[in-house]
Amino acid sequence: MPHGKTQMTDTWIAPDQLFDGTALHDGLAVRVQDQIVTEIAPAPRSALTFRGTLTPGFVDLQVNGGGGVMVNSTPTKDGLRSIAAAHRGLGTVAILPTVITDRPDVLDQAANAAIAAFGQNGIIGLHIEGPHISVARRGTHSADFIRDLDDRTMDIIAKLRALGMPVKITLAPEAAQPAQISALAATGAIVSLGHTDASAQTIISAIDAGATCGTHLFNAMSQMTGRAPGAVGALINSECHTGIICDGHHVSNEMLGLAIRARPCPDRMFLVSDAMATVGGPDHFNLYGNTISVKEGKLVNAEGNLAGAHVSQAEGVQRLVRDVGLDLQAALRMAITTPATFIERPDLATIIGRNIADLILLSPSLDFQGPLSAVA
């Protein structure tokens, strides 16, 4: 062996099931050479076995915080890296840090932080949720900072897109002109409709203008009734991609299942955590000067109202299978394949060529067990 060279490690790992980003398989193993998966094949007799499922790590397009840190309160490169690290420790290897409604300078700082952290620790872009939303459907967002879409935000998005960064912006169509939505879409930004009290027809008009997504379906939007579909009905009926939270609090299991079955196109629903600082962190944090705490598994403000989610993507997948009744393949596609493809990062839903730190192991009961690097 030449001086200074180390011997290449060459290991086969055989889980009970393997999700390759497309489908779930039995009886397959991965070959790991120098921490990179180089092959998928029937398991050789020499393979190390694992009880459970091997899968690419989760992709989350709506992460407000984690590890005790919020994007809004710490809009810095180190803040975003800390949030990403907290979620990686729970099985999510790629995130869109999400800055919510706040002062204009907070958005400026978050954008600069995203530029500095882009591509590190699984930070794959930026999600701007507000401030261009409906006061009536603001949820936990502060009414003090809500405003119509303006050139300042348009310029920030243009800057991010010029650098090749994926950007998702959640807005209410009543806070933006159709021409502005079209201009945002023309940059390649994802325009997502949410925190809106708009009618179904207004939602349809925004989709016609270039919106391609809906933000946390059912939550903070006009509801669906027999004679008025609202934003919920319009988005379910559309071809838009739509995020949804599965934490047992934001949407009932019955409505989750109904919405997933009702979509006219496959692979249009994706799982988001809407995670706050408590995920992988302490049981409370400060937002807009108010304390948000975990109470009986849900995040609430002083009035007892929902204020973001206290759930990881791994827990969401587990609930989709256990409580909603999805098969594991469908749940994994919602948490990995669909968001990765939508954000134009199909590589995040692959196994071949991936570092073993980006692949994860789930127990037979779908508890997160750690990265593949823990056993390979």
Catalytic positions:
274
- Return the structure tokens found at 131: 């401030």
CB 269 within 8 A of CB 238: no
Residue type (1 letter), 126 = L
What pairing do the DSSP bridges indicate for beta strands 28-33 and 36-42?
antiparallel
Backbone angles phi, psi at 85, to 5 degrees: -65, -40
Q: Which of 189, 144, 185, 184 is nearest to 165 (CA)?
A: 189
The region that residue 152 occupies, defined by phi over 0 for left and psi between -120 and 50 for alpha, beta otherwise, is alpha
3-state SS, residue 141 = coil
Q: How many CA atoms lie within 13 A of 95 on its CB side?
A: 33
3-state SS, residue 247 = coil
d(CA 260, CA 240): 13
- Return the structure tokens found at 266: 């496959």
d(CA 330, CA 368): 17
Long-range contacts of 355-358 (CB under 8 A, 24+ apart): 355/35, 355/36, 356/32, 356/35, 356/36, 356/37, 357/35, 357/93, 358/56, 358/57, 358/93, 358/122
Please report which residue ranges of the chain form alpha helices under DSSP H: 77-88, 104-117, 151-162, 178-186, 200-209, 230-237, 253-262, 313-319, 328-332, 338-342
d(CA 64, CA 71): 6
Torsion angle of alpha carbons 168, 174, 179, 183, nearest 10°? -10
